[in-house]
Structure 1
Amino acid sequence: MITYEYPLNERIRTLLRLEDLFDKALHFTLSEGAYEHHTALVSLFEILDVASRADLKVDLVQELERQRQILVSFRHNPDISEEALSGALYEIEQASAALLAMAGKIGQYLRENEWLMNIRSRAAIPGGVCEFDLPSYHFWLHRHPEARQADLQAWIGPMTPIRDGLAIVLRLLRASGRPENLVAHRGQFQMMMGGRSAQMLRIRVAQGESYVPEISANKYALNVRFVGAASVARTRQAESSVEFELTFCNL
């Protein structure tokens, strides 16, 4: 199954973008190639851009506290495992404490690194990080992989509380809904919201389907149109029925 997630507000959209960027940065940091480490560094610059657009740290702390209070209300419930509940509360409390311990603006230590900021400005130009543009960066890319990995981990490490906090929030969000099995007849599906609220939609389609969902939603209605994936089929609406799984997610 392939899962497509559609955020319904800017807050969740920001968290999903950061999750994707952190995953890429950490994945390529673990590699040893110079190109992979360049990609990790570019992803770090993108994290810096996205994370600085809103008061992300305060928003995450407030959401984690709200979720902590909800979980505390489940204490002594015979249907809830005390061990699992205690583990979830501990994880939330640790993530909140780490976020509160972050001093100053997110990524300020990176902005104060003139060498990194020079690379960041050149990386925004197509082909702008060639060796004749940035010889010192060319030298860094030819250092031993372990030395580059140590630098990348030092640059990414102070922002891991952001990654850990948003990972908890998104995990709780994804687990909040109950999936429904539905059919889009001739590739088209419409549902009236009927007062139902959601912060994110999750659509799962069988791996073998060559159609992707185009989603539009507001507080009144949800529309899903399945069209051919451009790489494998013409981008037109499906003519046959498409089975899919829909989940409304809301914290």
Structure 2
Amino acid sequence: MISYEYPLNERIRTLLRLEDLFRKVGHFNRSEAPQDHHVSLLTLFEILEVASRADLKVDLVQELERQRQTLMSYRNNPAISEEALAGALYEIEQASTGLLAMAGKIGQYLRENEWLMSIRSRAAIPGGACQFDLPSYHFWLNRDADARRRDLEGWVRPMTPIRDGLEIVLRLLRGSGRPEGQRARCGTYQLTMAGRAAQMVRVSVPHSEAVVPEISANKYALNIRFMLPETIARPRVAERDVQFELTFCSL
């Protein structure tokens, strides 16, 4: 199954974007190639841009506290594993502690690094990070791979509480829904929300279906059109019934 997630509010949209960016940084950091470390650094600049929302840290702390209170209510419940519950509570408390320990604006230490900001400004120009534009950056890219990796990890580390906090929130969000089998007749599916409270929709499609869902939603209705991937240049709805799973997720 291929899962497609569609956020229903700006907060979840921001968390999903940051999750994707942190995963890319982790992937490219593990490489030894200068080109991959270049991509990692540019992705870090994207994280800085997306995470600059003033209320992101507060949102995460409040949501983690709300989830902690919910889990606390399950104590001494014979149907709940005390060991698993204690582990989940510890993870939430550690993430909250890390977030609360973050002082000042998110990523301010990066903004105060003139060398990094010079790379950021040049990288915004197509081809602007070429060696003749940024000779000191070219020198850095030609350093030992381990030295570059240590620098990258040092620049990412202060923002790991954001990563850890959003991973917990999104994991709980994804686990809150129950998938239900649905059928899109002639490639189209519509559902009236009717006051349904959800923060994210997940659409899971079997690999064998070879279709791509286009999702739109508001507080009144959910609309899904399953498009044929081989006609991306000129999108066309799959004019056949499509089986899929639909999950409404809400914390």
Bin for the TM-score computed over the shorter chain = over 0.9
Q: Distance in 2 between matches of 1:2 and 1:54?
A: 34
Q: 1:23 corresponds to which residue?
A: 23
Shift of 1:208: 2.5
Shift of 1:216: 1.2
AA aligned opposite 2:197:
S
- 2:116 matches 1:116: yes
Whether the aligned pair in 1 keeps the contact of 2:54 and 2:105 (CA below 8 Å) is no
- 2:251 matches 1:244: no
Number of aligned residue pairs: give it. 251
Q: 1:160 corresponds to which residue?
A: 160
Q: Point out where structure 2 has 5 or more consecutive residues left out of the alignment.
A: none
Q: Distance in 2 between matches of 1:129 and 1:221?
A: 45
Whether the aligned pair in 1 keeps the contact of 2:57 and 2:162 (CA below 8 Å) is yes
AA aligned opposite 1:249:
C
Whether the aligned pair in 1 keeps the contact of 2:178 and 2:248 (CA below 8 Å) is yes
For 1:116-195, list aligned pairs within 5 A: 116-195=116-195
Q: Distance in 2 between matches of 1:26 and 1:135?
A: 26
CA deviations over 1:64-93 (Å, ceiling 9, x no partner) = 000000000011111111110000000000
Q: Distance in 2 between matches of 1:113 and 1:39?
A: 19
Q: 2:48 corresponds to which residue?
A: 48
Q: Distance in 2 between matches of 1:199 and 1:54?
A: 21
SS in 1 for 2:209: coil
- 2:57 matches 1:57: yes
Q: Point out where structure 1 has 5 or more consecutive residues left out of the alignment.
A: none
For 1:192-211, list aligned pairs within 5 A: 192-211=192-211
Shift of 1:55: 1.4
CA deviations over 1:4-58 (Å, ceiling 9, x no partner) = 0000000000000000000001110011000100000000000000000231111
Shift of 1:233: 8.5
CA deviations over 1:87-124 (Å, ceiling 9, x no partner) = 00000000000100111110011001000000000111
- Structure 1 range deviating more: 127-136 or 213-222: 213-222
Q: 1:97 corresponds to which residue?
A: 97
AA aligned opposite 2:158:
P
AA aligned opposite 2:37:
H
Identity among equivalent pairs (%): 72
Cα separation, partners in 2 of 1:204 and 1:233, compared to 1, 3 Å: farther
Q: Distance in 2 between matches of 1:134 and 1:233?
A: 37
Q: Distance in 1 between matches of 2:148 and 2:222?
A: 47
Q: 1:226 corresponds to which residue?
A: 226
Q: Taking structure 1 as the reference length, what is the TM-score of the superposition? A: 0.98
